Structure 1
Amino acid sequence: MLLEREEQIEGAIKDAAQKREEAQAILAKYEAQIQGARNEAQAIIANATKVGEEMKEEIIAGAREEAAKSLERAKAEIEREKARALAEIKEEMSTLIVLAAGRVIDKELSPQEHERLIQDFIVEAGELQ
């Protein structure tokens, strides 16, 4: 009976040792899986950060490009408005000068002098163009 009890104890010890080895193997396997998951998570985070930075740079570049285009459009519009305003001012000044000159001419010039001044004006206007 003592021998039988001793064999049972040895069997239990061997069984416990085997189960301990199996548990350690399972633990090592899970630790490896956890480490793999951590590595994968770090890779995903690094990739997401990289993609985010690239997107940020693209957005900034697009915004700068759009701002430059808007500035160019605004400059072109300003130039068009400036040219239009100058043309209007020139036209208005021409009208006023002609009216003022007409009043002076009507009062002081003979019809022949009047005709000569008109011809001179036409020649000068042609030279300005």
Structure 2
Amino acid sequence: MKSISNTWSKKDTLNFNFKIENTSVKKNINFVVRNNEDYQFSNLYLFIKLKQGKKVISTDTLNYKLADKTGKWLGSGVGSIKEIYFQYKRNFLFSKTGDYTLSIVQGMRKDTLKGIIDFGVNIE
């Protein structure tokens, strides 16, 4: 998890580095988002680059829902902080062993988002 300290600027890229040692095993890549009531939107757009070394092997623009139509947060948690899991890639097969980086930038229309506390990546 990377702490965003309640403010995430469009200029701030979150980089998650990891190593793939076995290319015969498919992986699931998931995101974990923690937000509080300062977050003004019901969704979160993300621009994502998956890189092997310096080579970009995948780019995506994703839209995840954080709240339903009534404004109720979809995540779980006690108090004002909610945590929600999102699937990014399922049964993904990395073609080469080595070092990888997931680079994530928020893609909302505001330059600075308030209310996102932490963002994490889980590879299983």
TM-score after normalising by structure 1: 0.17
Indicate the structure whose relative CO is greater, using CA pairs within 8 Å and at least 6 residues apart.
2
TM-score after normalising by structure 2: 0.18
More helix by percentage: 1
More strand by percentage: 2
